[in-house]
Amino acid sequence: MRIRLLFILTISILSLKNYAQQSSRPNIVVILTDDHAVSAIGAYGSKYGATPNLDRLAKEGALFNRAFVVNSICGPSRAVLLTGKYSHVNGMRDNRDRFDASQDVFPARLKQSGFQTAWIGKWHLVSYPQGFDYWNIFPGQGLYYNPDMISMNGDTTRHNGYGTDIVTDMTINWLDKRDESKPFFVVVGEKAPHRTWMPDTADLGKFDHINFPLPKNFYDPYNKRIAAGMQDMSIEKTMKLGYDLKMKSDPDVVAEAFIKRMSPAQRKKWNAYYDQVEADFLKKKLTGKALTEWKYQRYMRDYYSTTLSLDRNIGKILAYLDKNNLTKNTIVVYTSDQGFYLGEHGWFDKRFMYEESMRTPLIIRYPGVIKPGTVSNQLISNVDFAPTFLDAAGVAIPKQIQGVSMMPLLRDPNSSIRTSAYYHFYEFPGEHSVLKHFGIRTSRYKLIRFYDHKNFWELYDLQKDPHEMKNLYGQKKYDAITADLKKQLEQLCIQNKDQEALKALAQNF
């Protein structure tokens, strides 16, 4: 009898110890959006009131001014986040690759340690998720209206409604049904505000009263910048009236399919708005710069309107955490898979190592660890996310992970975890004709090596030239700085085991 009581007592103590460990570990919510530009967020200086809930999150947590991605394109960026490894190591170099989801991904390690794990919404990695207790994902890019979603049993189901709402509601439903004895990790994968920027019907026209000022370099002549001159991502030449800007006078099969997918009620509101916009457009008979600037205004109005639903749904998630007493023990991370051009250099899209594309929003709220209202100017890379989440959860970081935990920086905003950020873009030939390139970004300088199709260098002093208009490479007074940056870049290539980059560096010209 005494042995039995001792056994029961031992089991009880172990159970209580395990419960204490589980309950003390923070939950983690990652809200991962697509193509959300830093410049469109109020906390980063946007003046148009599109992001009150994100602004609230920044006030209650930390805003990171120098967060960067290692490869500015949708699928590869997600693969970097999942693995904590650079694209050439995790195998997902561009959107045409298939991600090997059976490799070591950090959510699987969280699951093994007792977390409940989920990924809901945009996945965009061709393969299906592994290492999660639950997932429900868009096929490919996903759709804004009445999207299909693939469940864990492989079934594809059409969900009626607006995609951003659906992903959020599905996330909250999963949270409601979770095992409350375990900490949880969930990625909320929102499609918005990815091209073609289709706002919810409730948000149509919300920014029509604003005349967005043209970026100072909207008419960039691309002097001494070969790759910038070769791209195919300009608002003037690449942005389509039918596909991107919803004008029926420029018929587009894909755009028509998007509208046909809408319910009669959705389509009625959609057509009522855009038919009026088009009627006004046709009356003006615009050409030249007037047409280009009209396209820019339409792009900005649709883009910002699309972010309204995104922010509203972030508010729903924050409200859920508040209502269910989860706020104090939940890390909330907001980031995008990359930045995006909102007319800078005359562009939309991403891909380049230039700031608007490489730089991504990052806001983290971690009660009890991060002081509310913190602003950090330290360098961070999205390869650092995986080790950070493992570290926060008390899970050992495997040696093969190439990123660095941000936890020291979260505890002390004056500390730093890296002196430079590495970048490598591979997708050429590909959509938008951006050349292959890699490089290093320090606190002040950026050195970029374009290679393969064409071979040349670019150097920027970000302190004097934050918009990257003047390529300083080859100027004699920058020879010492260039030589030092080349040495640092070579060391990063060796450290990161990037053989393709090292091969390019070995080519003298």
DSSP 453-471: SS-EEEEEETTT-TT----
What's the confidence (pLDDT) of residue 501? Answer: 98
Is the pLDDT confidence value at 49 over 60? yes
What's the confidence (pLDDT) of residue 23? Answer: 52
Tally the residues of the chain. 509
Return the ∠ at Cα 73 (arms to 67 and 76), rounded to 5°. 90
Is the pLDDT confidence value at 162 over 60? yes
- Domains, the chain, in order of start with CATH, read 26-198+299-505 (3.40.720.10), 201-298 (no CATH)
Distances in whole angstroms, Cα of residue 427 to Cα of each of 74, 76, 296, 352, 431:
12, 11, 26, 11, 8
What's the confidence (pLDDT) of residue 7? Answer: 44
The 10s digit of each residue's pLDDT in 114-125 is: 999 999 999 999
pTM beyond cutoff 0.85: yes
Residue 352's Cβ-side half-sphere holds a number of Cα atoms within 13 Å equal to 27
Q: pLDDT band at residue 509, thresholds of 50, 70 and 90? A: low
Q: pLDDT band at residue 12, thresholds of 50, 70 and 90? A: very low
Contact, 449 vs 459, CB < 8 A?
Answer: no
What's the confidence (pLDDT) of residue 24? Answer: 79
Identity (one letter) of the amino acid at 364?
I
Q: pLDDT band at residue 243, thresholds of 50, 70 and 90? A: very high
Is the pLDDT confidence value at 59 over 50? yes
Q: What's the token pair of residue 295?
A: 């396209």
What b/e readout covers 119-157, taking b as 16+ CB neighbours within 10 angstroms? bbbbbbbbeebebbbbbbbbeebbbbbbbebbeeeeeee
Distance of CA 255 to the CA centre of its chain: 24
Q: DSSP for 307-328, please give it.
A: HHHHHHHHHHHHHHHHHTT-GG
Distance of CA 29 to the CA centre of its chain: 15
Cα separation, 501 vs 490, in Å, equals: 9
CA dihedral of residues 160, 163, 166, 170 (deg, nearest 10):
130
Cα separation, 291 vs 287, in Å, equals: 5
Is the pLDDT confidence value at 6 over 80? no
DSSP 8-state code for residue 203: G
What's the confidence (pLDDT) of residue 13? Answer: 39
Q: What's the token pair of residue 503?
A: 């091969």
Cα separation, 381 vs 373, in Å, equals: 21
Distances in whole angstroms, Cα of residue 231 to Cα of each of 219, 369, 440:
14, 43, 21
Q: Across all residues in the chain, what is the average pLDDT?
A: 95
Distances in whole angstroms, Cα of residue 191 to Cα of each of 26, 120, 146, 173, 479:
26, 11, 13, 19, 44
The 10s digit of each residue's pLDDT in 421-449 is: 999 999 999 999 999 999 999 999 999 99
Percent of the chain with pLDDT over 70: 95
Is the pLDDT confidence value at 20 over 70? no
Cα separation, 241 vs 247, in Å, equals: 6
Distances in whole angstroms, Cα of residue 283 to Cα of each of 212, 274, 277, 401:
21, 14, 10, 58
Distance of CA 94 to the CA centre of its chain: 15
In this prediction, residues 181-185 reach a mean pLDDT of: 97
Contact, 127 vs 98, CB < 8 A?
Answer: yes
Phi, psi (5° rounding) for residue 491? -65, -40
Identity (one letter) of the amino acid at 240?
K
Is the pLDDT confidence value at 110 over 60? yes
